[in-house]
Amino acid sequence: MKPNPIYAICNFKDIPSRQAMGFHLMIVDDDGNHQPWSIIVVRWGKKVLGYANKCPHSGVNLDWERNEFLDPYGIRLMCGKHGSTFELGTGRCVEGPCLGGALTPIALAVLDDDICVVGVHLVEDDASANN
């Protein structure tokens, strides 16, 4: 079985500590189809955490203003639509209409100062630039 590749999505320093950034990527699903895949990367000191950018309440992106993911205190992720808030470390909804739900975690790794997604197949830009 082919090992899953590792994709660098940004440099570790591109995201300041205690900030979150969104990435709109394309994934290859199990049937070989290309699907948009929007993720949130949170950096907290040396730690990085990834979640699908999809609110468990109604499936929308959390950021209604681009890259605005944190609550006013900067300690939780927040959905801009109805204000649900999520623990940074677990993605668990702790307040709002999706209380009891959770964001889907995304596996990340930091390799050579790059933040990488692992365990998925992404559509790579240069592979699709054929026209």
Instruction: Tell me which residues touch ligand FES (CB under 6 A).
Output: 55, 57-58, 60, 79, 81-82, 84, 96-98
Min CB(28)–ligand FES separation in Å: 27
Round to the nearest angstrom and report the end-to-end CA distance of the chain.
Answer: 31
Nearest residue (CB) to ligand FES, 35 versus 58: 58
Min CB(24)–ligand FES separation in Å: 18
Min CB(130)–ligand FES separation in Å: 37
The CA angle 14-113-38, to the nearest 5 degrees, is 55
Min CB(26)–ligand FES separation in Å: 23
Asked if residues 54 and 104 have their Cβ atoms less than 8 Å apart, the reply is yes
- Residue 44 CA to residue 18 CA, distance in Å, equals 5
Nearest residue (CB) to ligand FES, 42 versus 62: 62
- Tell me the backbone φ, ψ of residue 110, rounded to 5 degrees: -110, 120
